[in-house]
Amino acid sequence: MEGWRISLLENKRTIFVDADACPVKDEVLKVASEYEVDVVFVASFEHYQVTREERENWKYVDPHKEAADLYIANHVRAGDLVITQDIGLASLLLGKKVFVMSERGFRFEEKSIDLALCRRHISQKLRRSGRYTKGPKKLVKGDRERFVRELQKILSKIEGFTY
């Protein structure tokens, strides 16, 4: 996908945040304002919250398990950025030439998404058989710093739109 380019003048790009359990909302807003990028937080009505700032754009969807993912998949465009921890959603979006990263600052990429999907499948099989694996570790300062650095890196690339 190297060399894929889109002109910034053609369409303004958007950051979509799978916001139900995203711990880096404030960081997203801060960095997005530096790059003048629109942000859309997508969450289920079960996670409704009063908008904290005027620049926050919240879209609420049904409480169905996949509703936020479907909203994002149906509204995202090539060159947009999605922040999610959902590996399945990331896999779908990479095929649409969307930048995808986790709240820990790790990019989902075509070259490694199959391995991530395989690990997710194995973990699901273990849980169904009664063996529970540990969940993700608590987000720490280093994770937040890595997230901000990676977000800035992606947004600086988006200015030239090299995918």
Per-residue model confidence as pLDDT tens digits over 105-122: 988 877 766 666 567 656
User: Residue 2: pLDDT above 50?
Assistant: no
Identify the domain containing residue 45 by its residue range.
14-110+138-160
37 within domain boundaries = yes
User: Residue 161: pLDDT above 60?
Assistant: no
Q: What's the pTM?
A: 0.77
Give pLDDT, residue 11.
57
56 within domain boundaries = yes
Mean pLDDT score, 59-74: 89
C-alpha of 2 from chain center: 20
19 within domain boundaries = yes
Split into its structural domains, the chain has a count of: 1
83 within domain boundaries = yes
User: Residue 135: pLDDT above 70?
Assistant: no
Mean pLDDT score, 90-110: 88
Give pLDDT, residue 116.
65
Mean pLDDT score, 21-35: 91
